[in-house]
Amino acid sequence: MTIVTRFAPSPTGLLHVGNVRAALHNWLLAKRHGGRFLLRIDDTDAERSREEYVDAIRADLAWLGITPDGEERQSARFAIYEEAFARLADAGRVYPCWETPQELDLKRKVLLGRGLPPVYDRAALDIPELERMRRIASGDAPHWRFLLDRETPITWDDGIRGPQRFDPAMMSDPVVRRADNSWLYMLPSVIDDIAMGVTDVLRGEDHVSNTATQVQMFQALGAPLPRFAHEALLTGAEGKLSKRLGSLGIAHFREIGIEPAALRALLARLGTSDPVDASLDAEGLAAAFDLAHFGRAPARFDEAELERVNASVVHALPFDAVADRLPSGMDEAAWVTVRPNLTHVHEVADWWRVVTGPVAPPQVSEEDRAYLTRAAELLPDTWGDDPWHALTGALKAETGRKGKVLFLPLRQALTGLDHGPDMAALLPLIGQERAAERLRAAG
């Protein structure tokens, strides 16, 4: 059987880091088994759905390198929902209700006050059939609930959480359709999963109770159950996921210079026992993706760790992959020299300014000024294939300096900084003329 997974965002906002992780894991699960990954836009909420969010979802997935094998939109599938709803109505598995939100809230409070679970009492089922028909014909539109089978325990073997068991007698019949005939999430999702041939539903553990209800919907529609797996939700570095972190969109990561490969590498392993490996491409991540490696503990998302992973990715980027993002005039040799000092590619501009100048002369002691003046005098005679080692070797022999006092004044005069790329690679990029000017200016 071909594995089919899906990612089903609602276009009522931008994708955040938790959404992206769910999309990535479903993509990797399908990819590992040679299956199909589908994008379904859950846009039944016409009032809140926006076309710009649909475009943003597609763009964010494309930036991450996640390519769906197909796309569906719920707003184009209402006829399918009507047909399935009619079948459920004929079978007595959906029924009309007229309680107001205030009446339902009062019922819940009474039950809770008695120490009982706030389960809907099914009072609407006591309305005679003729009365129901009369109310509907008169324009008194009902909302509709799915009738749970309360006699049979709901069970499934979860791909991450293991065997699951729910008592339907402790669950309320869920509302599946509003009085204005619009759909809630639960039933259309099941109908679509059946029609789209979804075999594996991988989502957050906040959907576990939804799954318990949807198991019976699959059964009522005569469809086999997909395999369900519910992964732990994300937390921040300090435990609870902050509102800011929970709402971080892909645009944020792009703006701060995160590489898509870095975000993929980190999110692919969050919640598993596997170490984050920045060297793995999409194929490598998919080959190692295994639900058996997921644990029940909260998955910790740490922006500092993302920065470290990003640095590892940047340090391995070849020149061809970044050439169009580099300052004008920067060649492959310069990129290779500067690359180990970067966390983000955009930082290369700062280092290129160190090469091209101008560089502010450092404040130095009288002794170091004489030392740098002498370095400027020796530079022409030591310039060759390896000018840095030739220059420092000549200065060491002449002055007796070694270690920090030999190297640091030269680095400060040549770059204006106390640290940075290997000077043996950086000095040829600066060039003999500029280097001599900087040494003389500092001296």
pLDDT in tens, 159-180: 999 999 999 999 999 999 999 9
Higher pLDDT: 136 or 249? It is 136
Per-residue pLDDT band for 299 (boundaries 50, 70, 90) equals confident
* pLDDT tens per residue, range 346-355: 999 999 999 9
pLDDT band at 46 (very low <50, low <70, confident <90, very high): confident
- pLDDT over 90 percentage in the chain: 87
CA pair distance 329, 21, nearest whole angstrom? 38
Classify the phi-psi angles of 108: left when phi > 0, otherwise alpha if psi is within -120 to 50, otherwise beta: alpha
Range 1-71+232-316 has CATH code 1.10.540.10:
no
Which sequence spans correspond to the domains of the chain? 1-71+232-316, 80-177, 319-355, 357-442
| pLDDT recorded at residue 235 | 84
Under 8 Å CB-to-CB from 277, ≥6 apart: which residues? 265, 269, 284
**CATH assignment of 357-442?**
1.10.10.350
pLDDT tens-place string over residues 53-108: 999 999 999 999 999 999 999 999 999 999 999 999 999 999 999 999 999 999 99
Q: What is the mean pLDDT of residues 235-261?
A: 79
Task: Of 12-16, 27-31, 197-201, 226-230, give the lowest mean pLDDT range.
Answer: 12-16
pLDDT of the residue at 300: 87
Listed residue (105, 188, 181) closest to 143, CA to CA: 181
The DSSP bridge partners found for residue 145 are 95, 175
- Which residues sit opposite 156 in a β-bridge? 164
Which residues sit in the known binding site?
243
pLDDT, one tens digit per residue, over 305-362 is: 999 999 999 999 999 999 999 999 999 999 999 999 999 999 999 999 999 989 888 8
Class of domain 80-177: alpha beta
Enumerate the H helices of 15-75 as residue ranges: 17-32, 51-64
Going by the annotation, the residues of the binding site for ATP are: 243
Structure confidence at residue 378 (pLDDT) = 95
pLDDT tier for residue 247 given thresholds of 50, 70 and 90: low
